[in-house]
Amino acid sequence: MLRVAVPNKGALSEAAAGILSEAGYRKRSDPKDLTVIDVANEVEFYFLRPRDVAIYVSSGTLDLGITGRDLAADSLSEVIEEVPLGFGSSTFRYAAPADQVWTVDGLEGKRIATSYPNLVRKDLAARGIEAELIRLDGAVEISIQLGVADAIADVVGSGRTLRLHGLTAFGESLCDSEAVLVRNPARPEPTKAALQFIKRVQGVVFGQQYVMIDYDCPKDILDKAVEMTPGLESPTVSPMLDPEWLAVRAMVPRKTHQSLMDDLSAIGVRAILASDIRSCRF
């Protein structure tokens, strides 16, 4: 059976479980359960701390796993990123009190609190900066106020936690992260079973990033309309009962579909419908 690691709790667990369920895999019924055997799909799921996932996958104990790119990097375990999953996005930034001016070079000799020590150590080493790392488990933003650190290096999502604690980020992001499906790098290619799993997950993630647009198009503006909705290969254009009209169907990126619908409407397209794509294969 294919063995797959899934975050058991934390920022990534709910969305990861949602994708797997949408991909047709068995759900965990008890949040305390650390394994689920999906007999029908021949997959064993292991619910682990996301920080540990890359360790299991890189050792070959498990075939695939869902974790954060930043967590995988900090674990120092070698894994291959198969699918970026489109959720759990964050940056990883140095931050310090907003009432002073900070530069990364200014971290020399300072105390930096972080839950991602390897990520920070690697960045400082590459810059030739020597600093003292204070390894904390979480709630890192309060450490300066409590006097154990001069600066921090932490995950930034909305930036709200930094603001609430009077901190400002500085320097470039050490890691632009999102949730990723990873696999063991020992084999050059995934096994057949792993590939099927990857394709199913890819199908759901890809579906989430697009919507299906259907619309009725007057014949004389078809060229203009299909230029705006080229689809992946080519839009489907079908005849309608009224010979002056055509029915068009195409996948379009979810992010911009509302403004695209406005634009289609403005050129004279009618009955524009957008629907979710729950899953797909290419």
Ligand X SMILES: O=P(O)(O)OC[C@H]1O[C@H](OP(=O)(O)OP(=O)(O)O)[C@H](O)[C@@H]1O
Ligand Y SMILES: Nc1ncnc2c1ncn2[C@@H]1O[C@H](COP(=O)(O)OP(=O)(O)OP(=O)(O)O)[C@@H](O)[C@H]1O
Which stretches of the chain bind ligand X, using CB under 6 A?
11, 138-141, 154-161
Question: For the CA atoms of 83, 92, 67, 118, what is the dihedral angle to 10 degrees?
Answer: 120
- Under the binding rule (CB under 6 A), the answer on residue 31 touching ligand Y is no
To Mg ion, the closest distance from the beta carbon of 138 in angstroms equals 5
> Which of positions 145-164 make contact with ligand Y (CB under 6 A)?
155, 157
Q: Are 251 and 212 in contact (CB under 8 A)?
A: yes
To ligand X, the closest distance from the beta carbon of 19 in angstroms equals 20
Of residues 161 and 279, the one with the C-beta less far from ligand X = 161
Q: CB under 5 to 8 A by kind: which of ligand Y, Mg ion, ligand X, none does 135 bind?
A: none
- Under the binding rule (CB under 6 A), the answer on residue 106 touching ligand Y is no
- Under the binding rule (CB under 6 A), the answer on residue 10 touching ligand Y is yes
Query: How buried is 30 (Cβ within 10 angstroms: 0-12 exposed, 13-18 middle, 19+ buried)?
Result: exposed
Of residues 14 and 108, the one with the C-beta less far from ligand X = 14
Q: CB under 5 to 8 A by kind: which of Mg ion, ligand Y, ligand X, none does 88 bind?
A: ligand Y
Number of residues that bind ligand Y (CB under 6 A): 15
Of residues 12 and 213, the one with the C-beta less far from ligand Y = 12
To ligand Y, the closest distance from the beta carbon of 181 in angstroms equals 13
The contact pattern for Mg ion, residues 94-133, with x = CB under 5 A and - = no contact, is ----------------------------------------
Nearest to 218 by CA among 240, 203, 201: 240
Q: Are 7 and 53 in contact (CB under 8 A)?
A: yes
Q: Say how far apart CA 64 and CA 137 lie, in whole Å.
A: 26
Q: Say how far apart CA 108 and CA 131 lie, in whole Å.
A: 5
Q: Say how far apart CA 214 and CA 250 lie, in whole Å.
A: 7
Residues 6+ apart with CB under 8 A from 137: 115
Q: Say how far apart CA 216 and CA 83 lie, in whole Å.
A: 35
Q: What are the angstrom distances between the C-alpha of 169 and each of 75, 106, 130, 177, 258? A: 23, 13, 20, 16, 33
Q: CB under 5 to 8 A by kind: which of ligand Y, ligand X, Mg ion, none does 70 bind?
A: ligand Y
3-state secondary structure of 133: strand
Q: CB under 5 to 8 A by kind: which of ligand Y, Mg ion, ligand X, none does 50 bind?
A: ligand Y
Of residues 116 and 210, the one with the C-beta less far from ligand Y = 116
Q: CB under 5 to 8 A by kind: which of Mg ion, ligand X, ligand Y, none does 154 bind?
A: ligand X
> Which of positions 36-55 make contact with ligand Y (CB under 6 A)?
50
Of residues 139 and 148, the one with the C-beta less far from ligand X = 139
To ligand X, the closest distance from the beta carbon of 100 in angstroms equals 20
Q: In what order do the strands lie in the sheet with 167-177?
A: 132-135, 111-114, 151-156, 90-97, 167-177
Q: How many CB atoms lie within 10 A of CB 73?
A: 20
**N-terminal to C-terminal alpha carbon distance within the chain:** 25
**Would you tell me which residues interact with ligand Y (CB under 6 A)?**
7, 9-12, 50, 68, 70-71, 88, 90, 138, 155, 157, 177
**Would you tell me which residues interact with Mg ion (CB under 5 A)?**
138
